Structure 1
């Protein structure tokens, strides 16, 4: 079967705040067929996650490029944690129709190398597929591990969350509230501060851009 594959790519390295004109959608012919002897897996992407770490990977230089394979530059093709459906497989562990999660691409169709161990079958546990890219994905696991495994917070403590309106920070604040903590967050706009207090349930929040002395602000 041959299809048209739409792929999101970058036009150039992005060292400033990304804008729509930095990206373009390309269309390519794509054959949904695994060659004989290959263990490739062809996935139709259903959802992909756009995460903060990808910003650094779009830059011409970032110190994170030297850390792991997952933080090396990815231009012009973009990869991401994605949920998809297997359309064809040369690997006996995956069959057509399986719902999987792993590193795919900003595209409708992706070829995943089975030997990289970046793909696994997804047990949905009754949750929507999108939850596995958010609260049950990178952001949720980072928030949970940082709060309970590293910080080891206790009920009744005060928790301060920086960048609190982001995908990780917003979850840290909500987890801490559920654990019985007093939660304060900071964000970069009044609109985000309102979001923290009125939607995410933070006890208090402030716009750090309007504060001259962050230490004094936190002591309040």
Structure 2
């Protein structure tokens, strides 16, 4: 049986390819190199960004002050990809001069709190529970150990209040998220967001 010249050429090429035996060590090395390159690119991506989320939010957030953001719309969102079914309140904290006291409530499921450093690391997070109000009191301290004022006990004053949870972080942004369930729930959501306090403590 005589084959067409093109078919004969194709058959010859297939025979040559079948005769080639790839070096398994070379293939494994190439796969490892591709994996390392992918991981390095992922880790380096935040450093290569022109402006981080912290850089964008810093001008609009006074230090150690809570700002309740308006409902998210294309014209009002401070960062891209914020979901319109969530309301936000934020505080840019700085514990360099004094500890920062934080107080808030998570009225239920869907509410959450997160502390982010300027580099994007999450140093603390909490979520609300269904049919239960979660009260939170935090005390943000600098990462370096140094004198931050006298405690009430050292001044001879009995402190019967519940101790706040200590969090070590120099500066960053606290984000309180609340689910926007519609117009009927907005007064309740606004009240919950405005109960969020964030202020530097007075050092004695």
Task: Compute the TM-score of the two structures, normalised by the length of structure 1.
Answer: 0.23
Between structure 1 and structure 2, the one with the greater Rg is 2
Task: Compute the TM-score of the two structures, normalised by the length of structure 2.
Answer: 0.24
Query: RCO higher in 1 or 2 (8 Å CA, sep ≥ 6)?
Result: 2
